[in-house]
Amino acid sequence: MTSHASADLALPVVDEDLAARLKTRLAAIEEDLAGHVSSSADFINETAGHLMAAGGKRFRPLLVLLAAEAGPDPDSEQVRRAASVVELTHLASLYHDDVMDEADVRRGADSANARWDNHIAILTGDYLFARSSEVTAALGPEAVLIQSRTFARLVEGQILETVEPREGEDPLAHYLEVVAGKTGSLIATSALYGAMFSGASPEVCEALRQYGEIVGAAFQLSDDILDIASESEESGKTPGTDLREGVPTLPVLMARAANRPEDARLIELLDADLADDALHAEALDLLRKNPAMESARDYVRGQAAEAKALLTVLPQNGVRQALEAFADVVANRSS
């Protein structure tokens, strides 16, 4: 349940006063971001502003601003800078992601690599990472260390995604490590930065960091389930896209791990080229009926519950309510 006040926020904020404050601050962040990506070179302005102009939910800076409400100084200039840092880092990673995925579209617009080429996309991502580092420097040495470690985890996740699990390594554990690095790490830092730069206690800072790590990764995993379970009119994308492309996802890995004799045909299809529409449809149907789907949902629900349990350090107020509501969204969006 969300109020009208939070209708265009990426988090379910029911408290209307809180939602209004967040919207005002988020608008200021939007102006800051435009300044941070600007260059004296017109071409760089065009490439660096390309994905920002295409929109996006601004989920990470919003989480910074929401977590900042847990401290005594949510309006601090440092909170505002931190919100820009996480969004610039996220935007930069999208440019690199699209090159790795050979994507043609991002946020309804041509991806940078499709509009220009891979070299331009990679260098633009590097430029945005540099601008993110520049803003981080104004936050002090502790923030620089946190940001460096976050960036390292994000890149590690991107690299691990491209390689097979080591011999003897559990493929599911490998995949969860990828998701934690690529998605969970920056969302964890978003929540931590907000609490930290608003003056929240170390206990609250650590709880919100862990909350962000868990709920961020769980949100990505719920996307895995939706890729299989949803119809195109519900999700806005073709069902089984990851399945067709052979991308490992939570339900697929759980089906493989279960290794049930009755799943022999499904495993055979998962090992086949699913570019063929008939084979793809058969695999999608078998996977939707497989117990691995409910196992995946149970895992995501368990992660969301674990994230909510960390919020007991906060008082019962609009901030905690919004963070709990987001965990509920994660738990239920794939059910």
Query: Do the first three CATH levels of 16-200 and 201-334 match, i.e. the same topology?
Result: yes
One-letter identity of residue 267: I
Say if pTM beats, i.e. exceeds, 0.95: no
**Backbone dihedral angles phi then psi of residue 39, each to the nearest 5 degrees:** -140, 160
Range list of β-strands (E), 74-218: 105-106, 109-110
Q: How many CB atoms lie within 10 A of CB 239?
A: 20
pLDDT-derived band at 234 (thresholds 50, 70, 90) equals low
- Asked if 187 contacts 63 with a C-beta cutoff of 8 angstroms, the reply is yes
CATH architecture of 201-334: Orthogonal Bundle (1.10)
- Asked if 12 contacts 326 with a C-beta cutoff of 8 angstroms, the reply is yes
**Could you say which DSSP state residue 40 is in?**
S
Which CATH code fits 16-200? 1.10.600.10
d(CA 117, CA 315): 50
Give the residue-averaged pLDDT of 166-183. Answer: 94
Domain boundaries, the chain: 16-200, 201-334
Residue with tokens 């495993």: 267
pLDDT above 70 (res 233): no
The contacts of residue 176 (CB under 8 Å, 6+ apart) are: 217
pLDDT tens figures, 37-48:
877 777 777 776
pLDDT-derived band at 201 (thresholds 50, 70, 90) equals very high
pLDDT value of position 258: 94
Helix (H), strand (E) at residue 57:
none
Tokens of 140: 């002090």
Closest CA to 11 of 53, 65, 54, 80: 65
The contacts of residue 270 (CB under 8 Å, 6+ apart) are: 252, 255, 256, 283
